[in-house]
């Protein structure tokens, strides 16, 4: 069964990229960015040793803007839904092959856009449908730790009732 791990950071700092990405060496990484553009993520990815790297960018595309065509990057518009994210994740999974890790950057922004209970159902769906997937969720500051506790509790309660 897929595992979910929370990584906590005191501030939104570039060092968190290095720490998290080092843990993913030799794996195929699907990076869901909710708070910074794909260029920042790809710059850090270039310095790491991954089998493959795929980015879902929910930050850069402006309303009415053109969807740029960049290899291994999918752009979702502002106001994205977890359904759209799920479709993009599926596309990334099909390209990545085995030994996959999904990095969600960050929990703070994720729960601003979707209710924590809905996020728990979504993550349980990923866990049950992609058994070889590792999920890492970045959380920042005290708020991030509190959100992580709530989400972890919601995930466990949803998985026990078979949702």
Q: What's the predicted TM-score (pTM) here?
A: 0.87
- The mean pLDDT of 54-77, rounded to a whole number, is 81
Task: Give the strands of the sheet with 52-57, arranged side by side.
Answer: 3-9, 134-140, 100-105, 28-33, 52-57, 73-75
pLDDT of 118 higher than 90:
yes
Burial of 155 (0-12, 13-18, 19+ CB in 10 A): buried
For residue 147, count CB atoms less than 10 angstroms from its CB and return exposed for 0-12, middle for 13-18, buried for 19 or more: buried
Q: What is the mean pLDDT of the chain?
A: 83
CA 52 to centroid of chain Cα atoms: 15
CATH of domain 3-160: 3.40.50
């Amino acid at each position: 069964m897929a595992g979910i791990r929370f990584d906590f950071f005191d501030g939104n700092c570039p060092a968190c990229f290095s720490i998290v990405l080092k843990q993913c060496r030799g794996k195929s990484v699907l990076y869901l960015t909710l708070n910074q553009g794909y260029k920042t993520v790809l710059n850090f990815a270039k310095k790491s040793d991954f089998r493959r790297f795929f980015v879902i960018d929910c930050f850069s595309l402006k309303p009415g803007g053109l969807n740029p065509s960049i290899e291994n990057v999918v752009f979702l518009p502002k106001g994205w839904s977890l359904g759209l994210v799920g479709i993009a994740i599926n596309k990334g999974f099909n390209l990545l092959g085995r030994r996959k890790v999904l990095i969600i950057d960050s929990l703070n922004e994720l729960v601003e856009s979707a209710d924590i209970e809905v996020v728990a159902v979504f993550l349980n769906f990923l866990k049950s449908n992609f058994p070889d997937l590792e999920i890492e969720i970045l959380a920042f500051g005290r708020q991030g730790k509190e959100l992580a506790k709530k989400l972890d509790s919601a995930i466990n309660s949803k998985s026990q009732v078979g949702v």
